[in-house]
Amino acid sequence: MSKKTILTCAVSGNITTTAQAPGLPVTPIDIAAAAVEAQKAGAAVVHIHVRDLQTQEGSMDLNLYREVVDRIRDAGSDVILNLTTGEGGRYVPSPDNPLVPVEGTTLTLPEKRIAHVSALKPEICTLDFNTMNNRNWVVMNTPTTLERMLDGINDAGTVPEVEIFDSGDLNLAKNFISRDLFKKPPIFQIVLGVNYGAAPNPETLAYLVSQLPAGYTWAAFGIGRFAFPAVALSYLSGGHVRIGMEDTIYLSKGVPATSNAQLVEKAVRIVEDLGGSMATSAEAREIIGLDS
């Protein structure tokens, strides 16, 4: 474990609400401030969702993304920005006619889902390779959709972080690699503990890691009560780590987190107590190859 460990802070996500977590950042001002604070606490990368200012639901509004990015840079932070492209992939079918979408559906054109990436050209953006059940909806990312999104990501010069929710997602990503569809080598992010996805246990992670293509940067993270165990598990398995209020709103059982920085500080302690050391944003750029 001699290499530096990259910690990504997922500062807000699109599901957790301020009713559940009063410290959740929702406005661009608060999201940007949380990102800057997370870097100071030890994060090298911040993963950004934006929220509709009226409903607090996830948004694809370019102006909101632009404000967050500008505020982070205006604060003098060199933290690596990782913008989500996960919005716009949810389909909720009518119970009376599954061809008819009902409230909660966000499914839209691939190009709309990456419009903010095309405009802002972040160093990294996510690209979800999953089509799966979650609660009462389906997340839909067909191969054709992903190819169209990746075309725009490639044109922006952005490195895709491929989100892996189960083994089939990994097989699809490897197919993309075999067809030379990635202009820049992707990062792999293994997601553990999402409803009906990869189980948050050592056996599942070990299998997925064994199937990763050789030579690629990878990380793993867990959801809810699995978030901090996954920090240790990913580090000990040779990967990088992630934490943030998108993933958990608790510092420990029954103890709410007051900020993303607080979560980052604990994750840093876990890695360092296990013998690791954290990468700065500059070091993370070198590890990922963002400067090449």
Residue 19 has pLDDT above 70, yes or no: yes
Q: Which two tokens stand for residue 247?
A: 């993933």
The answer to whether 11 and 46 are in contact (CB under 8 A) is: yes
Computed over its alpha carbons, how large is the radius of gyration of the chain? 18
Residue 271 has pLDDT above 80, yes or no: yes
pLDDT of residue 291: 77
From residue 27, alpha-carbon distances to 22, 43, 203, 258 in Å are: 13, 20, 39, 16
- Fold of the CATH domain 7-288: TIM Barrel (3.20.20)
Residue 117 phi, psi dihedral angles, 5° rounding: -70, -45
- pLDDT, the chain, mean: 97
Question: 26 in helix, strand or coil?
Answer: coil
Confidence of residue 135 (pLDDT cuts 50, 70, 90): confident
pLDDT in tens, 25-44: 999 999 999 999 999 999 99
Tell me whether residue 239 is exposed, middle or buried, using C-beta atoms within 10 angstroms of its C-beta: 0 to 12, 13 to 18, 19 or more. Answer: buried
The answer to whether 148 and 111 are in contact (CB under 8 A) is: yes
For the segment 271-279, the average pLDDT, to the nearest whole number, is: 98
Residue 153 has pLDDT above 60, yes or no: yes
d(CA 99, CA 110): 20
For the segment 193-213, the average pLDDT, to the nearest whole number, is: 97
Confidence of residue 292 (pLDDT cuts 50, 70, 90): low
For the segment 172-193, the average pLDDT, to the nearest whole number, is: 98
Give strand pairing partners of 189.
163, 219
Q: Which of 51, 39, 142, 19 is nearest to 81 (CA)?
A: 39
158 secondary structure, DSSP code? P
pLDDT in tens, 215-250: 999 999 999 999 999 999 999 999 999 999 999 999
For the segment 116-137, the average pLDDT, to the nearest whole number, is: 96
Residue 83 has pLDDT above 90, yes or no: yes
The answer to whether 123 and 145 are in contact (CB under 8 A) is: no
Percent of the chain at pLDDT above 70? 99
CB within 8 A of 260, min separation 6: which ones?
A: 9, 11, 25, 34, 35, 37, 38, 41, 244, 245
Residue 1 has pLDDT above 60, yes or no: no
How do the domains of the chain map onto residue ranges? 7-288
Question: 21 in helix, strand or coil?
Answer: coil
d(CA 108, CA 151): 16
d(CA 130, CA 195): 12
Confidence of residue 2 (pLDDT cuts 50, 70, 90): low
Residue 81 phi, psi dihedral angles, 5° rounding: -95, 130
Beta strand ranges found along the chain (DSSP E): 7-10, 45-48, 50-51, 58-59, 80-83, 90-91, 124-128, 132-134, 137-139, 159-164, 187-192, 218-222, 240-243, 250-252, 255-256
Place of tokens 């909101």: 64
